[in-house]
Structure 1
Amino acid sequence: MNTILRIYKRDLKRIIINPALIIILIGLIIVPALYAWINIIASWDPYGNTKNLSVAIVNNDKGAAFKNMHINVGKEVADKLKTNQNIGWTFVNQNEAETGVKYGKYYASITIPEDFSRDLLSIATSKEPEKAKLIYSVNEKVNAIAPKITKSGLTSLQSEITSSFTQEASTTALNYMNAYGIELEKARPELEKFMNLISNIDNDLPKVGDGINAAYQLSNDMHNYIQNIEGSIPIVTDTLNKSANIVKASSDFLLNAKNKMKNIPTNVNTDLTTAKNNVDSTIESLNSIITSINQGNVDQIQTLKSISDKLNAAITSIDNNISMMQSINNVLNSNAVSNFISNLQDIRDRLARDNDNLNNLINTLNKGQQISTSALKAIIQNVTIASQLINDSINNYNNNIAPLVTKFTDNSMGITDNSLKLLQNAQDNMPLINSLLKDADAATNLGVSQIKNIKDKFPAIQQSIHSTVGKFKDFSSEQKFNDIINLLQSNTKAVSDFLSNPITLVQNRVFPIPNYGSAMTPFYTTLAIWVGAFTLLSLLSIKVEPLEDNKKVSAKKEFFGRYLTFATITVIQALVISLGNLFILKTYALNPIIFILFSVYVSIVFIMVIYTLVSVFGNVGKALALVIMVLQVSASGGTFPIQLTPRFFQNISPLLPFTYAIGGMREAEGGIIWSSLYYNIEILSIYFFISIIIAIFLKEKINKKSEKFISKIKESGLIGE
């Protein structure tokens, strides 16, 4: 140990007394720091200047008309973009946009076709709606990242248009439903009056039946009883005539209501299809986030917000359908409809859970932390399942539920039609009854068989009328009638606003890092420490001269003596780099002392690894150190997540010291999980001790075997020590 310290002290003394060497060492200390600082400053906030990315906007939309109303969605979109500062929107004509994108004046262009508004309205004007298109042209040759940013802007624009159109469409539909509900509410007194009258008829019929039975059993009093019945016939006839008139009036009313309600099946199908489209759109958007997950928190947050809006729109559509089907099923009481409602509730709950997970990811981004692709993939998997469930529900609805709903509206009209027919039959039968009674009154010898004929026919008439009245009473019950009215009536403005923007975002950031430059500091600091150590060993000699007493020094002692010198310099390099990061660049670190100490620790490990390679293998070791550095830049996960790189880099990542150096610095910067920090320290220590073992057992042997080879190379005069 004494010999090792003598070598170390002599190196320090030579440095102190040699001004030229001091200047070189100062350069070796400052240059790696400058390397880190320049890169950190350059990447400080790359996504804060997206407004300087020029994107051409071409609006060719000619607008469209619907129900005496003219709309131009393209113009509305262009007006909104003029106040949007997220990207440098530039409004030009078609030729200028194409030329500008081709020659790099614009990074991309978005063209709104002339039939854009017409296609949006096709949902209401055509049996086969046509999806509106935005034409996105991008020059990917100009820059690698710009197309991703401009595409994110396009996604946000698409989401905004969808939200606005959803609000307008739902407002129109709800206004129509409100009108139907108000009309039905106004007609309630007339319907109740009609039901009371029919009920009175039903209540009077048993009296008629009792009279016939009495006439059958008391044939001796037939004459007097027939006269009493004849006196009641005009009243019954008049009541039937009035009832028939009321039923006809109610039939016209219910026919009108039926025509208004017959669109319910189509509306439910449309809502479910819209919900599915929103859910499918979120899958594409989530995949795009996975592709560009390290391109900046701003764009990821905006994209996730738009995804959340789409999920909220889908949830709202499903909630509306649930409420509507529950109201209908209060009347139908169908197991098939109940199961359909239960499936919709399961889908809604699944989407709500996915939306909660999205909100958690947004909170994570807002705290400056990266989100994991595993979390995004889990949401994609769940949303994909929800999409399939919605598709199954659409098929189930079209095949099984829609016929029930249609039958429900048809039955409402059928009841009235049947009642009218029954009353008309009763009217037709009254002259016959009256004639029979007159004949019986005129012919005192009326036989019991004739009265029995009347008695046998009357129960069927009575049962028919009673059954019809029972159906009307069931339909017009207070609760069921209120359910139908509540289904049709709603607060149009509140519901449409909810459909287009149903979610309030609550953000939660875990381990927040305030800016992109700070987030990149661990990578550039680690890289600068390696570059500093590599440069140091490239310029300074590893050969140790004999000590003053000419005592022979073993290769092991030479190795450790000179290592102390290199370690001292590289520790100073690490201190300059880390302190400069914190106090000159003002990079963020939650635990600055741990950050500085860990940087020093990394420098000690790195210099041991590189020094061992150069000391044992000479110039070949320098080449190995350079190759290892190149591999680590791509395979350490310092820039892009390692999961986004090819399989080769994912496989070698756990084998590289950069992976653990960057991981430890991130712990000190964002918030320490001590078990993770200890793990990174332990893995780095393995590299340190493996390097020592290689030096102890291989240095002397390999150096002796390569002496002749090295001397031959030196004779060329092209390669130094």
Structure 2
Amino acid sequence: MKNIYKVFISDWKRISKNVVAVVVVMGLIILPSLYAWFNILSNWDPYGEESTSRIKVAVASDDKGIVMDSLQFNMGDTIIEALESNTTIGWVFTDSTKDAIDGVYAGDYYAALVMPEDFSKKMVSFLTDSVTHPEIDYYTNQKKNAIAPKITDKAKTAVQQQVNSTFISTIAQTFVKAADGVDTSANQENMTSGQTVLDILLSKMQQLNTQLDSYDTILTALISVTDSASSAMNAAGQISPDMSKKIIAEQQKVDSLMKIASKGNILDSSVSSQLAAGLGQISQIMDSVINIYSKADGNIDSFASSISTAGVNLKDTKEMLGSLKTDLSSTIEKLNNIKNSGSYDMLLKVLGLDADSFGSFVASPVEIETEAIYPIATYGSAMSPFYTVLAIWVGGLILVAIIHVGVKPQKEHPDVKPYQAYFGRYITFFLIGQAQALLVTLGDLYYIGIQCVSPFKFWFAASVTSFVFTIFMYSLTVAMGNVGEALAVVIMVIQVAGAGGTFPIEVLPKVYQKIYEFLPFTHAMNAMRECVGGSYQLNYWKYLGYLCVYVIISLLIGLLFAIPCRKLNEKIEKSKHRSGVMI
């Protein structure tokens, strides 16, 4: 133990007396911290709105829009209006689609979204027999940056969701507003308060059915009158007094019915489209019949002649009317079934919403409530364990590259044994490594301001990590010289790629998934993550325990494996020296 102490003291006496050596030691302490801090700051919040809003994505529309029932509909313009208030991405609204696409090729924009000229037309194709999915043309420059396309792809998805949400919301709002319109119309007609849309529709259907019954009665009476008059004339050449009385009686019924019918009808656009055509045709025919009868002024011969001239067949019209009444009765029955079903109560609640609320609900019926487990506010804080551990490894790597690991015989300790020289010189590596760890953690916590629920444990994890890393690389260099240094670099590269510092280990190649648990980085980062996001049970101490296993491996390498390597290292050093160009 005394010789170990002597080696350490003599090392620091020589360092303290050499200004250059002191400056070098200070540089060795500071440099790893800069490596960690710059990386954490550069990755502080790359996916936040403040950052992504600087990524330029062009938007252009050739959409010509469509006109539906005198309503102008242009989804391309609607999307652009919505994106103008969206600051997630740096949207650039170009004058033409050519400018947008050319800008992507030139590298002015990371991506471009273009709405084709038939975009709105395809949006409403579900109303036709030929449904066509509308498409937005998406152009992305994958050469410009490796990560940017991943961000712009999210922008593409956001636009797609915006389109779907806007379209569904518009349709839903229109539906509810139409229902409100029917309700308002009903109130204007002095309908009973508290009626639902279905009640109103059923009432109209019932009124239609009553009117059709009136038409049927009229047609029956007219057919009876005209047939009676025609039969009497054909039989006797003139109408008998009894037959005349009968015709007059029937005609009086017709006159009475005509007065009722002339009060107007309730045929309007609120009726089911399946009945509209038939109802419209019957209405026109009956209007003509009523008009002709009115002009005939009770003269059956004149009426029959005018009806024939107009091409109206009363019997065919009665058959058509019977078929229409059957369809109307079927519709009324279906509406009554709907009204009596349990689902109708839900529909009433939906229609009770205002248009904006209902449109918003239909556009996004399910909302996901996110409950973050171990929440971390910024990406930089989440990445700080990786960059801090990497900086500590880099610090240890610089140490073995700058400071000699071998102890040359000195006057003050000529009888120092190899293991004493090993521990004596390592104390210097340990202290500088601990200074590196302390500085980098203080900077992370108080200069960068990372999130950390347990600052002391964060520093302690960094301290243990530095101890493990420095003794591991020190042992490799003691045992294998420059080959050991090179091996430390290789191990670092493997760990940067395969320790799960940036990407989840599950998405990495299988070779990394197999060696993941055996890498020192893995356990050092996991211990620090417990301090940043929050600790679970004894995981923090478990990870540090795994990490300390490498201390045993390091001692075996530095004290035992180094013995057979000494002669080989001497030969390598002599060969390097003879080259005249290698250190």
Q: TM-score range by the shorter chain?
A: 0.7 to 0.9
Letter matched to residue 480 of structure 1: N
Alignment of 1:183-332 (within 5 A): 183-187=200-204, 259=274
1:152–1:574 Cα change, 3 Å: same
| Alpha-carbon offset, residue 13 of structure 1 | 2.3
2:198 matched to 1:181? yes
1:718 CA displacement: 2.6
CA RMSD of aligned residues (A): 3.6
Aligned-residue offset at 1:569? 0.8
Q: Give 3-state SS (helix, strand or coil) of 1:671's partner.
A: coil
**Does residue 134 of structure 2 align to residue 117 of structure 1?**
no
Alpha-carbon offset, residue 12 of structure 1: 2.2
What residue is the counterpart of 1:614 in the other structure?
477
* Partner residue of 1:490 out of 351, 369, 372: 351
Work out whether 1:501 is the aligned partner of 2:516.
no
In structure 2, the residue matched to 1:158 is 160
Q: Single out whichever of 669-678 and 176-185 deviates more from structure 2.
A: 176-185
For the residues of structure 2 that align with 1:519 and 1:527, how far apart are their CA atoms?
14
**Which residue number in structure 1 is paired with residue 21 of structure 2?**
21
Tell me if the contact between 1:184 and 1:485 (Cα under 8 Å) persists in the aligned partners.
Answer: no
The aligned residue for residue 486 of structure 2 is: 623
In structure 1, runs of 5+ residues without a counterpart are: 195-241, 243-251, 262-412, 421-467
Say if 1:190 and 1:483 are closer, same or farther in 2 by CA, change over 3 A: farther
- Asked if structure 1 preserves the Cα contact closer than 8 Å seen for 2:59 and 2:114, the reply is yes
Q: 1:171 aligns with which of 170, 173, 185?
A: 173
Instruction: Confirm or deny: 8 A CA contact 2:437 2:462 kept in the other structure.
Output: yes
Which residue is equivalent to 2:551? 688
Instruction: Report if aligned partners of 2:388, 2:440 keep a CA contact under 8 Å in 1.
Output: yes
**What do the CA deviations read for 1:221-249 (whole angstroms, capped 9, x no partner)?**
xxxxxxxxxxxxxxxxxxxxx9xxxxxxx
Change (3 A) 1:193 1:30: same
Contact 2:401–2:485 at 8 Å: present in 1 too?
yes
Corresponding residue number in structure 2 for 1:148: 150
* In structure 1, C-alpha distance between the alignment counterparts of 2:334 and 2:362, rounded to whole Å: 34
Write the deviation string for residues 181-217 of structure 1: whole angstroms up to 9, x where unpaired. Answer: 24434258779999xxxxxxxxxxxxxxxxxxxxxxx
Superimposed CA distance per residue, residues 616-650 of structure 1 (whole angstroms, 9 cap, x where no aligned partner): 01111011000111111111111122222222222
Residue 46 of structure 1 aligns to a residue in which SS? Answer: coil
Q: How many residues align?
A: 466
Match of 2:139 in 1: 137
Alignment partners' CA distance in 1, 2:547 and 2:505: 19
Q: Which residue does 1:34 correspond to in 2? A: 34
Please list every run of 5 or more consecutive structure 2 residues that lacks an aligned counterpart in the other structure: 183-196, 212-256, 258-266, 277-321
Say yes or no: does 1:94 pair with 2:97.
Answer: yes
Deviations 1:291-312 (A, max 9, x none): xxxxxxxxxxxxxxxxxxxxxx
Cα distance, 1:485 vs. partner?
Answer: 9.0
CA deviations 1:246-284 (Å, max 9, x no partner) are xxxxxx99xx669379xxxxxxxxxxxxxxxxxxxxxxx
Structure 2 counterparts to residues 338-349 of structure 1, below 5 A? none
Relative distance call for 1:260 and 1:16 in structure 2 (3 A) is: farther
Structure with greater Cα Rg: 2
Structure 1 residue 672, shift from structure 2 partner: 1.5
1:36 partner letter: A
1:541 equivalent in structure 2 = 404
CA distance in 1, matches of 2:364, 2:273: 32
| Cross-structure match for 1:521 | 384
Deviations 1:544-592 (A, max 9, x none): 1335355422211111111111111111111111111112222221111
What is the alpha-carbon distance in structure 2 between the residues aligned to residue 119 and residue 716 of structure 1? 76
1:559 equivalent in alignment to 2:561: no
| Equivalent-residue separation in structure 2 for 1:134 and 1:148 (angstroms) | 18
Q: Do 1:54 and 1:89's aligned partners in 2 also have CA atoms closer than 8 Å?
A: yes
Match in the other structure for 2:340: 480
Distance (whole Å) between structure 2 residues aligned to residue 706 and residue 131 of structure 1: 71
Distance 2:336 2:39 in 1: 76
**In the superposition, relative to structure 1, how do residues 529 and 550 fare at CA in structure 2: closer, same or farther (>3 Å)?**
closer
Q: Which amino acid aligns with 1:181?
A: L
**Residue 600 (1) aligns with residue 463 (2):** yes
C-alpha distance in structure 2 between counterparts of 1:82 and 1:631, whole Å: 45
- 2:250 is matched with none
Structure 2 length normalisation: TM-score? 0.72
Q: Judging changes above 3 Å, is the alpha-carbon distance between structure 1 residues 568 and 76 closer, same or farther for their aligned structure 2 residues?
A: same
In the superposition, relative to structure 1, how do residues 484 and 632 fare at CA in structure 2: closer, same or farther (>3 Å)? closer
Normalising by structure 1, report the TM-score. Answer: 0.59
Distance in structure 1 (CA, Å) of the matches to 2:487 and 2:140: 41
